[in-house]
Amino acid sequence: MSERRFDPQRSRVAVLMGGHSAEREVSLMSGTGVLKALQSQGVDALAFDPAERELHELRALGVTHCFIALHGRYGEDGCVQGALELLRIPYTGSGVMASAMAMDKVMTKRIWTALELPTPAYVWLSPQAQTPEALDGIAERLGLPLIVKPPREGSSIGITKVTEASQVRAAAALSTRYDADLLCEQFIEGLELTCPVLGEGDTARALPVIRIAAPNGDYDYQNKYFTDDVQYHCPSGLDPEVEARVQALVLAAYRALGCRGWGRADLMLRASDQQPFLLEMNTSPGMTSHSLVPMSARAAGISYEALCLQLLDMARLDTPEGASR
């Protein structure tokens, strides 16, 4: 069975949005934007919420391709990608393994560290290891301030910046509402950056870097999606040599995880020496009015509509027969 190439005139596209994760609301906004963009380009596109319908219904609907606008668990972690592999429906973005690894920030950091790609020092604690003694010792191990976060969530959900050792237990309690495991990370003082990537392997390319300036440095869930208080600088205003180094690092990080289609790396640029540090890789980035991939793409001369079509043109399956074009 050969893979079906996306044809805007002959394909039927389901935009997967909503889902079961804590990022459901944002996913609905992303998916609605993508759906309108595709329909404006004459694509036969429909909305599909896996929280409300069974995925096998995609077959009955005659869907030939899926645009994954799901964020977080069950949409960005390899689960829906695996289901689509079984249904033999090509989809946008990374495959099963890359999606699963990138969704788990601890696994991501292990891979990057093994390849000597810079990422902040960290402590991972399983549920059994989260003893009062272990929590109280984290500040001494990582220094202050530090970041406490759930390793398998996105959109800054459950994250706390800890400035005093006495705050670690409360931060851990918030984080473990979203993930039983706990990730504590060294805080890098400097500029917050993000950089999207399009493509796969040697042909992947980094788009322009975006510099993020949030009120009081608080780039949280509310500021990300529901206010206009955050300033986004694209062009970033960085020295060209620094921007090129950031882009090269992001491409190395993307390839190390085996990502394809698209992604977006979040980083910190240390103020003391302009050293970039990788924080995470998003394999199903946001496509809302506040989202950063469309912003960077516009700076590279790619419209929102053209971006959606380009991503669909790269949709495929992970399995050997699907990988051959």
Q: Percentages helix, strand, coil for the chain, rounded to the nearest 5? A: 40, 20, 40
First to last CA, the chain: 11
Which entry of 99, 155, 223, 296 is annotated as an active-site residue? 155
- Residue 286 catalytic? yes
Q: Shortest CA distance to 297 belongs to which of 306, 288, 289?
A: 306
Which entry of 261, 264, 291, 316 is annotated as an active-site residue? 264
Across the chain, where does the E strand assignment appear?
A: 12-16, 44-48, 65-68, 122-125, 146-149, 160-162, 182-186, 190-198, 205-206, 210-213, 231-233, 262-270, 276-282
- Residue 122 catalytic? no
Which entry of 77, 179, 181, 266 is annotated as an active-site residue? 266
Which entry of 178, 219, 225, 254 is annotated as an active-site residue? 225
How far apart (Å, rounded) are the C-alpha atoms in residues 279 and 269? Answer: 11
Residue type, 99: S
How far apart (Å, rounded) are the C-alpha atoms in residues 252 and 245? Answer: 11
Do the strands 12-16 and 44-48 form a parallel or antiparallel pair, or are they unpaired?
A: parallel
Determine whether 116 is exposed, middle or buried from the number of CB atoms within 10 Å of its CB (0-12, 13-18, 19+): exposed
Which entry of 21, 30, 282, 291 is annotated as an active-site residue? 282
Which entry of 286, 291, 304, 318 is annotated as an active-site residue? 286
- Residue 264 catalytic? yes
Report whether 187 contacts 172 (CB < 8 A).
no
How far apart (Å, rounded) are the C-alpha atoms in residues 287 and 318? Answer: 23
- Residue 155 catalytic? yes
Which entry of 154, 280, 284, 304 is annotated as an active-site residue? 280
How far apart (Å, rounded) are the C-alpha atoms in residues 193 and 209? Answer: 7
Which entry of 23, 76, 104, 179 is annotated as an active-site residue? 23
Q: Shortest CA distance to 95 belongs to which of 315, 293, 324?
A: 315
User: 260 to each of 40, 174, 183, 230, 253, how far by Cα in Å?
Assistant: 26, 33, 26, 29, 12
Residue type, 112: W
- Residue 266 catalytic? yes
Residues acting as catalytic residues: 23, 155, 225, 264, 266, 280, 282, 286
